[in-house]
């Protein structure tokens, strides 16, 4: 009995073990396993398959199917992934180019400076891994050049400072130049832009100060403000301007330098996936400076040239100026440091009626006090101001002609002096040259003196006029005042009395003496009968002596050549009769224009200007050229979603960047959840059915539908906000079917939930 029992126990254990093993194996192979399908085929012979597989294997992220490799970057951006031109481990690198232009993708496992370690498929038809350059046209794939587009971040999405930034030294001064067009980055008020001219002024000079984290704070040598990313923004197109320096840990004012000796990119610490950029890629003067993601364009490549010249720190003129009217003295301002390479100065007198400045010298004009501002030509921020005091030890005089009579001229005079004015002297002068303020007549045409004997005089004086001694038609009255110290001052008052021969000429024209006499109505008089009086200047007309003619040994037929525009008078006087021939040349320029030169380029809004210059007189003529008009680029609308705002359609100019039609923000869509399906209960009384509805959270009301058939023919019998309803007037002993759904009202729009379960009921009598 015991033996049999033992045998039975042994069999039992053996079958139990087999059964458990089968259950275990069956359980292993029948437990559901969740498998994610790679949307790409081709195994590791296909780069997209391998990149998708490695992204999932390393991060657990299932990427969508984004088509060909070169479309992944934009597709990822549109899908909400962070994309950047800065390499990062656990990211997808995306290239354009390659076989058939499909591009290439690979999984990045490590970053060292400008090198990335990648795992990839499709490399000569198989899996491959190794180091590659992180930027530019750096990768060969089946002998086809690939160009890096950027990186899709997986997991941690915050850009970090990439390694490989340069150490330029602790502190230095430099200019920042866009390399391809050699235009300086310059200060313009609070903004920063490309310069219109490269003169190396302070507005184009920058001070670089290295920080402990390897970045640089860059300040303007013009006013000390820092190069700053506006509002610490990180988006493409964020403006770069000048702002007060805020400490040494402001990421919007700290810049890293990358690149090689001739091509630098400047990366802000607060947006390490962006860099200094010329807006819209423009190289025109005045182009705004912003930040934008690194795209290897010429608009992001700059040269940094250190300045070895010593900058001026201060302008100083320790002494104020004390001058007398008419006195001239040199300005004694100095530049510090004394060995600065920028020593040129500009001068400005506040009141030029008191003193004037020219060629570094002050000239006192009238009694009074004014100021002289001395500014460094390097920077108008470096300046000093001193006083200029002018005293009057000379007489002052004002005069005007009141009347010209047949034999006299009435003139009104005001004279004043700190001392006694002894007398005034008046002289009428003929053959006056208003261009040179000189008279060359052989004798005066009337003069007189008036005794004063006081510090001031104001009144009329009548002066004799001898018309027969006036030559030409341009004349003047000389008025001089004398004080008891022997000092005097004089002025000329021009006036006209037409007379003599007027000859209009143009520059470059000539006229000989014989023709001159004939025009003056003296054809039978030879030049040797006359004595020639002409101005002692060749500014307007030059004279060439004529040659002797046979039969008239003293005959000189000279030639006058018109040199430049102006008035030039001559007087010929007969030695025997005293008869005068007065001649005035009125010279205008016979313009000889040079070629047209552009002095202002036309842009989108403003007309341009062209100018040419007369090579004879220097007169200029200007023409305008039509404005170019905006080059319109449409900014596409962006649809709003429940998680992000959208934008309306807009437009801007691709040349100057002006916004033509601003995009407006479209609010996020309100996410509305449908009400849950209610449950219902039906009861019947005499020809009525009572419907009871379970209350649904958030519901605004309920719709009740009825039919005689379970599958079709339902019609709404009511909408109610209550959870019970009595349906009256029904036919006894008939079967009715009911279903109910909840709804809620959001911003005037109803959102319906799912239907309840259909219930039927037979109506009582």
CATH assignment at residue 584: 2.60.40
Residue 617 lies in a domain: no
Check whether residue 209 and residue 297 sit in a common domain.
yes
696 and 640 in a common domain: no
Residue 601 in any domain: the answer is: no
In a domain, 606, yes or no: no
Same domain, 185 and 302: yes
* Dihedral pair phi/psi, residue 162, rounded to 5°: -70, 150
- Classify residue 352 by its DSSP letter: T
Residues 542 and 571 in one domain: yes
φ, ψ for residue 169, nearest 5 deg: 120, 165
Same domain, 262 and 341: no
Question: Given 153, 187, 219, which residue is the final one in a domain?
Answer: 153
CA distance 485 to 165: 78
Q: Answer yes or no: is 593 within a domain.
A: no
- Count, residues in the chain: 765
Predicted confidence (pLDDT) per residue in 78-130, tens digit: 887 888 888 888 999 999 887 778 899 999 999 987 889 999 998 888 999 99
Q: What is the pLDDT of residue 60?
A: 87
* Domain final position from 666, 692, 721: 666
Would 214 be classed as within a structural domain? yes
Residue 54 pLDDT > 90, yes or no? yes
- The CATH number of the domain where 718 resides is what? 2.60.40.10
Give the whole-angstrom CA distance, residue 291 versus residue 12: 80
pLDDT band at 18 (very low <50, low <70, confident <90, very high): very low
Q: What are 624-654's pLDDT values in tens digits?
A: 989 889 999 999 999 988 888 999 999 999 8
Instruction: Give the domain CATH number at 336.
Output: 2.60.40.1080
Asked if 302 and 201 sit in the same domain, the reply is yes
pTM of the model: 0.41
Whether 274 and 363 share a structural domain: no
Q: Do residues 250 and 127 share a domain?
A: no
Contact 462, 404 (CB under 8 A): no
For residues 254 and 183, membership in a common domain is answered with: yes
Residue 542 included in any domain:
yes
Task: State which of 466-480, 541-555, 727-741 shows the largest mean pLDDT.
Answer: 727-741
Give the range among 67-76, 91-100, 539-548 with minimum mean pLDDT: 539-548
Strands 104-112 and 345-349: unpaired
Containing structural domain, residue 704: 680-762
pLDDT at 311: 82
Same domain, 140 and 196: no
- Cα 583 to Cα 356, 516, 518: the distances in Å are 37, 8, 12
158 part of a folded domain: no
Question: Number of C-alpha atoms within 13 angstroms, CB side, residue 151?
Answer: 29
pLDDT, tens digit, 9 for 90 and up, residues 411-448: 999 998 877 889 999 998 877 776 667 765 555 688 99
CA distance 653 to 260: 33
End-to-end CA distance of the chain: 77
The verdict on 302 and 184 lying in the same domain is yes
Select the more confidently predicted residue: 680 or 589. Answer: 680
Please indicate, yes or no, whether residues 203 and 253 belong to a single structural domain of this protein. Answer: yes
Provide the domain count of the chain. Answer: 8
At residue 507 the predicted structure's pLDDT band, cuts being 50, 70 and 90, is confident
The percent of residues above 90 in pLDDT, for the chain, comes to 43
Last residue of a domain, one of 364, 391, 418: 391
């Amino acid at each position: 009995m015991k033996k049999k029992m033992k045998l039975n126990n042994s069999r039992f254990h053996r079958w139990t073990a087999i059964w458990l093993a089968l259950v275990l194996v069956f359980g292993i192979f029948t437990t559901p396993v969740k498998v994610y399908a790679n949307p790409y085929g081709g195994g590791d012979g296909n780069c997209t398959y391998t990149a998708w597989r490695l992204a999932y294997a390393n991060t657990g992220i299932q990427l969508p199917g984004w088509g060909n490799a070169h479309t992944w970057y934009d597709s990822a951006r549109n899908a909400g992934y962070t994309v950047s031109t800065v390499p990062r481990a656990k990211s997808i690198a995306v290239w354009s180019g390659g076989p058939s232009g499909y591009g290439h993708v690979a999984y990045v496992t490590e970053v060292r400076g400008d090198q990335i370690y990648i795992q990839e498929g499709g490399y000569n038809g198989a899996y491959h891994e190794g180091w590659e350059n992180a930027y530019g046209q750096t990768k060969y794939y089946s002998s086809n050049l690939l160009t890096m587009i950027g990186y899709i971040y997986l997991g941690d999405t915050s850009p970090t400072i990439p390694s490989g930034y340069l150490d330029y030294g602790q502190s230095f001064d430099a200019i920042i130049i866009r390399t391809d067009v050699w235009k300086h980055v310059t200060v313009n008020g609070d903004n920063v832009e490309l310069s219109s001219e490269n003169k190396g002024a302070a507005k184009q000079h920058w001070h670089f100060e290295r920080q402990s984290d390897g970045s640089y704070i860059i300040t303007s040598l013009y006013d000390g403000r820092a190069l700053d990313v506006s509002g610490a923004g990180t988006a493409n197109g964020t403006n770069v301007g000048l702002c007060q320096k805020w400490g040494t840990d402001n990421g919007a004012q700290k810049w890293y330098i990358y690149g090689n000796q001739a091509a630098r990119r400047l990366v802000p610490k607060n947006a390490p996936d962006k860099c200094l950029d010329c807006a819209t890629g423009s190289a025109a003067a005045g182009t705004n400076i912003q930040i934008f993601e690194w795209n290897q364009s010429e608009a992001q490549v700059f040269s940094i040239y250190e300045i070895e010249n010593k900058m001026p720190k201060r302008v100083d003129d320790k002494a104020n100026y004390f001058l007398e009217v008419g006195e001239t003295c040199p300005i004694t301002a100095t530049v510090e440091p004394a060995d600065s390479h920028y020593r040129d100065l500009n001068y400005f007198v506040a009141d030029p009626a008191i003193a004037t400045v020219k060629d570094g010298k002050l000239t006192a004009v009238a009694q009074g006090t004014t100021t002289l501002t001395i500014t460094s030509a390097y920077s108008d921020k470096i300046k000093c101001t001193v006083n200029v005091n002018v005293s009057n030890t000379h007489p002052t005089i004002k005069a005007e002609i009141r009347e010209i009579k047949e034999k006299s001229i009435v003139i009104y005079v005001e004279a004043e002096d700190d001392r006694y004015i002894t007398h005034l002297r008046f002289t009428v002068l003929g053959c006056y040259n208003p261009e040179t303020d000189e008279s060359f007549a052989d004798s005066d045409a009337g003069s007189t003196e008036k005794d004063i004997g006081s510090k001031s005089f104001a009144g009329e004086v009548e002066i004799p006029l001898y018309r027969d001694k006036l030559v030409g038609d341009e004349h003047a009255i000389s008025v001089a005042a004398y004080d008891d110290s022997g000092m005097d001052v004089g002025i000329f008052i021009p006036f006209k009395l037409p007379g003599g021969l007027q000859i209009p000429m143009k520059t470059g024209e000539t006229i000989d003496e014989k023709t001159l006499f004939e025009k003056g109505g003296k054809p039978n008089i030879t030049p040797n009968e006359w004595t020639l009086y002409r101005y002692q200047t060749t500014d307007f007309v030059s004279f060439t002596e004529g040659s002797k003619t046979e039969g008239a040994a003293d005959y000189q037929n000279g030639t006058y050549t018109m040199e430049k525009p102006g008035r030039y008078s001559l007087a010929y006087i007969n030695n025997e009769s005293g008869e005068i021939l007065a001649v005035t040349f009125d010279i205008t320029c016979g313009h000889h224009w040079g070629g047209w030169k552009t002095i202002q380029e036309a842009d989108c809004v403003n007309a341009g200007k062209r100018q040419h210059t007369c090579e004879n007189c220097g007169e200029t003529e200007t023409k305008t050229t039509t404005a170019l008009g905006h080059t319109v680029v449409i900014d596409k609308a962006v649809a709003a979603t429940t998680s992000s705002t959208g934008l309306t359609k807009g437009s801007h100019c691709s040349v100057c960047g002006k916004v033509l039609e601003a995009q407006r923000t479209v609010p996020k869509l309100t996410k509305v959840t449908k009400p849950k399906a209610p449950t219902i209960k039906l009861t019947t009384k005499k020809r009525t059915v009572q419907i009871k509805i379970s209350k649904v959270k958030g519901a605004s009301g309920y719709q009740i539908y009825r039919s005689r058939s379970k599958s079709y023919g339902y019609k709404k019998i009511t909408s109610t906000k209550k959870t019970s309803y009595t349906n009256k007037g029904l036919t006894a002993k008939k079967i009715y079917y009911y279903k109910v759904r909840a709804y809620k009202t959001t911003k005037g729009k109803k959102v319906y939930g799912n239907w309840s379960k259909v219930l039927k009921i037979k109506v009582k009598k």
